[in-house]
Amino acid sequence: MTSGVLNLVLKRLAIAVVTLLIVLFAVFFATSMLPGDTASILLGQAATPEAVAGLREAMHLNDPAILRFLLWLVGLLHGDLGTSYANNMPVAALIGGRLLNTMELAGITTLLSVPLALMLGITAAMLRGSFYDRTVTILSIGIISVPEFMVATLAVLLFAVYLRWLPALSSVNEAHSLTDILRIYAMPVITLTFVISAQMIRMTRAAVIETLSTPYVEMALLKGASRSRMVLKHALPNALGPIVNAVALSLSYLVGGVIIVETIFNYPGIAKLMVDAVATRDLPLIQSCAMIFCLGYLLLITAADIIAIMSNPRLR
Amino acid sequence: MAARVVASRRSFLGHSYNLVGVIAALVILTWTLIAIFAPYIIPHSIGDIVDDDYFGPIRQGLWLGSDYLGRDMLSRVLMGARYTVGISLAAVVIACFSGVVLGMIAAVTGGWLDTCLSRFLDAMNSIPSKLFGLVVVAAVGSSIPVLILTLAVIYTPGAYRFARALAVNINTMDFMTVARVRGESIIYLIGSEILPNIIRPVLADFGLRFVFIVLLLSGLSFLGLGLQPPLADWGALVRENIGGLPFAAPAVIVPSLAIASLTISVNLLIDNLPNKIRDRDA
C-alpha cells in the first residue's frame, strides 16, 4: 500500500471522527430541547423549590449547554452512560443485555443474507436480461419499494397465519430448547434478511454488470473465453471491491430495519428499548441508544468507503 | 431485447413512453386526485362507527370492510391518502428546493463555503434517518408541521449532494466562464445557466426522494411516532389495525397495498421515463 492510499484512508477516518462529534452534538442538543425542567419532573409535584434547586445543581443543569455536553462526553469516555430517568437504573445496565440481543439478531441476519444476496446478485448479473434476472430484479425492487413493516406483516401472514409454522411474537426468555430458539429468531431474521438482501442484490448486480462492460472483459470475450471463465477469472476479482463496498452499505440498512422489526415482533433488543424510551421521554436512555446506533452506522459506511478506496487499483 | 423495447414504446409530445410507465403515471395521478378530493368523495365520515362488528369483511356498502372500531375502511384509506401524499409532497418540495439551491450555490461559489456546507451536510447524512425521526419526535412531539420539517431536513443532504455533483460538472463549461466574465450575479448563474442544464436528473431524483419520504413517514407512523389519532395516514392505519393481522382482515392489508402501489408506481415511472429525461449526465 502506497502513502497515497494510506493518506486517503487516514483522511476518511479523520472525517469519520469529526462526523461522530457532530452527530453526538446533534443528538445531545435534540434531546436537551425537550420541554419541561428535568429536575422538577424527576422529583414530582410535591418537591420543594429548594430540593429542585439542589438537584439542578447536582445534575449540572444550571451550567451552559456546551459545558454539559463536554461533561457528558467525558462521562462517555469513562463508560458512564448516565442514569435512566424512568426507573433510576444505570443506562449501561439497561442496555447491556439488550445490545447483545440486537447484535445476535444482526449477526444471524448478516450470516444468512450475505451469501444469499451475493449468489443471487452475481448470477443475475451473469444471466442479464434472462427471465431469471428479471424475476430477481423485480422481486428486489418490490421489497425495496415497500416499508419494512410491510415485509414483516407479509411474513407474519405467510408463515404464522396461513402456514402456522412460526409464532408471530418473540420472547427470548422463553427459549428452552434449540427448536424454541429457532422459532423465536425465525420471524425477525426472515424479515430483516429480505430487506437487507434486496438492497445487496441490487448493488451487487450493478457492480458486476459494470465490471462486465469494461474493455478487458470484452477482450476476454473476443479471445474466446467461456462465459463462466470470463466472469469468474476476469470480472469477479475486479468487482470484489465494489461488491464488499455494497455489502457494507447494505448492512447499514440494518440500523433502520431493526427499529421496525424489533417493535413489530416485540423482540427485546436495543431498538425496542429506544422506541419505549421515546414514549416515556427517558433522555439519557435515548441519547445512549441513539449514540450506539449512529456509531454502528458510521462504522459501516466508513468501512464501505475505505474498502472502496483500497480496492481501487488506480490508487494502489 | 432492443426490438421489444422499441415496439412497446409510443410517441407522445416528442417523447416516447412505454406501457408500464403510463400505467404507473395513472396510478400516481389517481392517488393525487384522491388526496385532493378525499373529503368530497368519502362515503362515511372517518370517525363514524358504521359496522356492528370489528374487522368486518368486504361487503356491499363497506367496500373495504371495517376497522378495529367498526369504522368504514374505504373512507379512512381515502382520507389517509391526503396525509401520506400531502405531507410527503410538502417535505420533498422543501428538501429538494433547499438541497438543490444550496448545492448549486456551493458548486458555483466553491472555496470555504463549499467545504463547510459539504462537511456539515455529509455529517447530517451519517445519522440514520429513522433514528433522526425518533429523536426529533422525542424532543418536540409529533405534529404535521414538525413531521414535514423533520422529513425535509433528513432528505436535504442527499438532494444537496446530488445537485452539487451535477452542478460542479456544468460549472466547468465555457458558457459559465463567459457568464462570469460578463459579471452576472450568482442568482443569474444558478437560475439561468446551471438549473436548466440539470433540471431533468434533478426531477428524477425528486421522485426517488419522494418514495424515501413516503416510506419513512409510513415507518414513523407505524411506530406511533408519526400522525397522532384521530388523524391517520396509511402507516398509522396499518398500526391501529395490526390486531386484524391474524385473521388477514382487509383493514390491515388495504393500507399496506396503498403504500406499495404508490411507491412502486413512482419507482416504475422513473425507471421507464424516456432516456432523455432520466439520464443523469443530461
| CATH number assigned to the domain comprising residue A151 | 1.10.3720.10
Say whether residue A125 is in contact with chain B using an 8 A CB cutoff: no
Round the average pLDDT of chain A to a whole number and report it: 79
Average pLDDT estimate for A110-139: 89
* Interval A167-172 mean pLDDT: 56
pLDDT of residue B282: 37
Confidence grade of residue B91 (pLDDT, cut at 50, 70, 90): very high
| C-alpha–C-alpha distance, residues B269 and B274, integer Å | 10
A178-212 and A91-126 helices, crossing angle to 10°: 50
Does residue A276 belong to any structural domain of this protein? yes
Q: State the pLDDT at residue B210.
A: 92
Closest residue in chain A to residue B263, using alpha carbons only:
A145
Q: What is the pLDDT of residue A173?
A: 54
A·B CB contacts under 8 A: 128
Residue B1 lies in a domain: no
Q: How far are the Cα atoms of A42, A124, B269 from residue A227, in angstroms, in the given order?
A: 69, 13, 33
Asked whether the predicted pLDDT for residue B126 surpasses 60, the reply is yes
The parent domain of residue A278 ranges over 94-310
- Nearest chain B residue to A129 by CA distance is B1
Give how many domains chain B has, as a whole number: 1
Candidates B119, B138, B245; nearest CB to A286: B138
Which one is predicted more confidently, B88 or B61? B88
Q: Is the pLDDT of residue A270 over 90?
A: no
Maximum C-alpha span of chain B: 75
Per-residue CA distances from A86 to A42, A232, A279, A289, B20 (Å): 9, 57, 11, 15, 53
CA of B51 to nearest chain A CA: how many angstroms apart?
A: 25
B4 confidence band (pLDDT: 50, 70, 90): very low
Residues 179-238 of A with CB under 8 A from B: none
Domain membership flag for residue A28: no
Please tell me the predicted confidence (pLDDT) of residue B6: 42
**Residue predicted with more confidence, A300 or A42:** A300
Q: How confident is the model at residue B8 (pLDDT cuts 50, 70, 90)?
A: very low
d(CA B231, CA B257): 19
Average pLDDT score over residue span B269-279: 67
Residue A131, amino acid: F
Domain presence at residue B173: yes
Asked if residue A42 is part of any domain, the answer here is no
Spatial distance between the Cα atoms of A12 and A18, rounded to a whole number of angstroms = 10
Looking at residue B58, the DSSP 8-state letter turns out to be: P
A43 touches chain B (CB under 8 A): no
The pTM of the full predicted model, rounded to 2 decimals, is 0.82
| Residue in chain B lying closest to A300 (CA) | B126
Does residue A47 lie in a domain region? no
Which of B140, B222, B248 minimises the CB distance to A33? B140
Q: Is residue B112 part of a domain?
A: yes
C-alpha–C-alpha distance, residues B202 and B276, integer Å: 13
pLDDT band at B280 (very low <50, low <70, confident <90, very high): very low
Is residue A117 in some structural domain?
yes
Compute the average pLDDT of residues B68-84: 83
Q: What pLDDT sits at residue A34?
A: 59
Which positions ≥6 away from B84 have C-beta within 8 Å?
B35, B214, B217, B218, B233, B234, B235, B258, B259, B262
3-state secondary structure of B241: coil
In a domain, B4, yes or no: no
pLDDT at B151: 92
Within-domain flag for B8? no
Residue range B47-69, pLDDT digits in tens: 777 667 777 777 666 667 777 77
Residue-wise pLDDT for A34-82, tens only, equals 555 566 666 666 667 777 777 666 666 666 667 777 777 787 777 676 7
Q: Is A197 a member of any domain?
A: yes
Residue A107, in any domain of the structure? yes
State residue A167's pLDDT score: 62
How many folded domains does chain A comprise?
1
The answer to the question of residue B6 being in a domain is: no
Q: Nearest-CA distance from A266 to chain B in Å?
A: 12
- How confident is the model at residue B13, as a pLDDT? 52
| pLDDT band, residue B101 (cuts 50/70/90) | very high
Which of residues A78 and B148 earns the better pLDDT score?
Answer: B148
- Any B CB within 8 A of A112 CB: no
* pLDDT, position B5: 43
Give me the percent of chain B exceeding a pLDDT of 90.
16
CATH of the domain at B245: 1.10.3720.10
Mean pLDDT of the region B106-135: 84
Q: Give me the domain span that covers residue B185.
A: 13-276
Tell me the CA end-to-end span of chain B in Å, nearest whole number: 24
Q: Indicate yes or no: CB of A294 within 8 angstroms of CB of B127.
A: yes
- The answer to whether position A141 is within a domain reads yes
B2 located within any domain: no
Cβ of A274 under 8 Å from any chain B Cβ? yes
**Best mutation target, B1, B28, B117, B130, to test chain A (most A CBs within 10 A):** B130
Burial of A131 (0-12, 13-18, 19+ CB in 10 A): exposed
Residues on chain A touching B1 (C-beta within 8 angstroms): 129
| B34-57: average pLDDT | 76
In a domain, B282, yes or no: no
- Measured N-to-C along each axis, helices B73-109 and B144-171 cross at an angle, to the nearest 10 degrees, of 40
According to the model, what pLDDT value does residue B16 have? 59
